[in-house]
Amino acid sequence: MISFESVTKRFPDGTTAVDDLTLAIEEGSFTAFVGPSGCGKTTSMRMINRMIDATTGVVRVGGEDVRAINAVGLRRGIGYVIQSAGLMPHQRVVDNIATVPVLQGVSRKKARLAAVELLERVGLDQRLATRYPAQLSGGQQQRVGVARALAADPKILLMDEPFSAVDPVVREDLQNEMLRLQSELRKTIVFVTHDIDEAVKLADRVAVFGAGGRLQQYDTPEKLLAAPANDFVAGFIGRDRGYRLLQFGSGTQVRMHPLEPIVEEQIDGLALDADDDWRLVLRDGEPFGWVDAGGVAAHRDGRDLYDSCSAGGSLFNRGGTLRQALDAALSSPSGLGVVVDADGRVVGGVRAADVLEVFEQQRRSSVEQPETGS
Ligand SMILES: Nc1ncnc2c1ncn2[C@@H]1O[C@H](COP(=O)(O)OP(=O)(O)OP(=O)(O)O)[C@@H](O)[C@H]1O
Ligand SMILES: [Mg+2]
């Protein structure tokens, strides 16, 4: 769908922003460009819609050399979202979204109706349609920016650090919204970010750029984390890469230990020797809390015992990821994460050491797997 073939961009002052980039982006895929500041991410992206022309090499969209396509026509098929949302301050939200369709000849009334529908699509209340951009939060503005880019129904969406100016909580909402949108729309998305976690969460493929605009690695997130191509990529991903990789592993292979849960009524009759002797307590058939010797004593004294040992944080759905399994084990006072089936019934417990063992096996086999695709 989009390809770079030995593309170099040199600016008149001699700066090489992109150096011999070769990259193929599949139709309907989500690709992230990551890398430190000044490594050519934005320049590469802008060569797709011809806001910047390559010095040498060829950029193709849909198989065609972009230089052979009329720039205005090309951009019509490509939505563009930038960090500040880039909304026009003196136009209401609805008209911001409807701008491009109106320019393309759609009647204002029809374009406005479609714009209001798009608000819902990006998770906004339709009542926001009549506000001005300054009357929205940063996250809401960003969503309007996405709606505006989608208004002309482009096949390609370019997003340049669209979520970097909002706080982490809003950012996570926007990322989740993006995942949902992409599962519905299947656009070809190129997404620039500094944030490797964001890249790994959203993208099917991640391109890591290094100094001088040189591509260092282009791979699936799993492959990138499991087998960084060189020291630069390993350094960029950071020491947490093992933990990040956990979210791609399946927890189904982790050894399960038997749990013998009790119901609340049994607590008083329980004989536990030590405070590290834990039993899981069920309420209405579902995991409710853990109790140890101290907890049993507290219960006998009529004191509330569940404050400090809720099972909620230590639950792991069978079929979840290794990261969830590890979180469950680590947050459980007994060291055993509670494994539940799809109906919420307890089926056993998982230990952190077993999770890490499976992780190591999966990591080794993913590194040994030959590269597939481009
Ligand atoms: N018009 C220009 N003239 C000269 N140099 C430029 C121009 N635009 C960008 N550059 C240089 O090209 C290099 C790549 O810039 P680019 O904007 O693509 O980086 P980036 O990876 O998007 O960085 P950031 O993460 O900071 O946005 C930088 O060294 C930048 O200074
Ligand atoms: Mg940039």
pLDDT single digits (tens) 191-200: 999 888 899 9
Which CATH homologous superfamily contains domain 264-359? CBS-domain (3.10.580.10)
- Fold exhibited by the domain 2-248: Rossmann fold (3.40.50)
> Tokens at residue 179, please?
């995942």
Q: How does pLDDT run across 98-157, given as a tens digit for each residue? A: 988 888 889 999 999 999 999 988 889 999 999 999 999 888 898 899 899 899 889 999
Which atom of ligand 1 is nearest to 40's Cα? 18
Q: What is the pLDDT of residue 304?
A: 66
Q: Which ligand is nearest to the CA of 11?
A: 1
What mean pLDDT do residues 81-92 have? 85
Q: Residue 166's pLDDT band (boundaries 50, 70, 90)?
A: confident
pLDDT on residue 24: 98
CB atoms within 10 A of CB 364: 11
Give the residue-averaged pLDDT of 17-43. 95
Question: Which residue puts its alpha carbon closest to atom 2 of ligand 1?
Answer: 11
Per the listing, tokens 């798009």 go with 118
Token pair belonging to 122? 């990006």
Between 66 and 332, residue with greater pLDDT: 66
Rounded CA separation 86/20 (Å): 31
| pLDDT at position 374 over 70 | no
| Residues 6 or more apart whose Cβ sits within 8 Å of residue 64 | none
Residue 318 CB neighbours (<10 A): 17
DSSP track, 296-354: HHHHHTT----TT-BSGGGEEETT-BHHHHHHHHHHSTTSEEEEE-TTS-EEEEEEHHH
Indicate if the alpha-carbon torsion angle 168, 172, 175, 181 is positive or negative: negative
Q: How far is the CA of 40 from the centre of ligand 1 (A)?
A: 6
pLDDT averaged over the chain?
88
Burial of 157 (0-12, 13-18, 19+ CB in 10 A): buried
In the predicted structure, residue 373 carries a pLDDT above the cut 60: no
37: CA distance to ligand 2 center in Å? 7
pLDDT at position 62? 94
Is residue 372 predicted with pLDDT exceeding 60?
A: no
Q: What percent of the chain has pLDDT over 70?
A: 94
pLDDT digits (tens, 9 = 90+) for 305-363: 655 456 667 888 888 889 889 988 888 888 899 999 988 889 999 999 999 899 888 87
- Confidence grade of residue 171 (pLDDT, cut at 50, 70, 90): confident
pLDDT of residue 111: 93
| Residue matched to tokens 């989009």 | 2
Query: What phi-psi label fits residue 133: left (phi over 0), alpha (psi between -120 and 50 degrees) or beta?
Result: alpha
Return the pLDDT at 231: 93
In a 13 Å sphere around the CA of 177, the CA atoms on its Cβ side amount to 21
Decide whether any atom of ligand 1 lies within 6 Å of the 260 Cβ.
no
Where in the chain are the domains? 2-248, 264-359
Counting atoms of ligand 1 from 1, which one is nearest the CA of 44?
18
> Of the given ranges (15-29, 142-156, 243-257, 342-356), which has the lowest mean pLDDT?
243-257
Q: Using CA atoms, how far apart are residues 281 and 285, in angstroms rounded to an integer?
A: 9
How are beta strands 156-160 and 188-193 bridged, if at all?
parallel
Residue range 216-228, pLDDT digits in tens = 999 999 899 888 9
Evaluate: CB of 123 within 6 angstroms of ligand 1: no
Q: For residue 241, is pLDDT > 80?
A: no
Residue in the block written with tokens 């490594």:
39
Length of the chain: 374
What is the structure's pLDDT at 342? 87
Which ligand places an atom closest to the C-alpha of 215? Answer: 1
The rounded Å distance from CA 38 to ligand 1 centre is 5
Ligand (nearest to CA of 52): 1
Return the higher-pLDDT residue of 84 and 296: 296
Amino acid type, 78: I
Rounded to the nearest angstrom, the distance between the alpha carbon of 115 and the centre of ligand 2 is 28
Compute the chain's Rg from CA coordinates. Answer: 26
For ligand 1, mutation pick of 18, 21, 33, 43 (most atoms within 8 Å of CB): 43
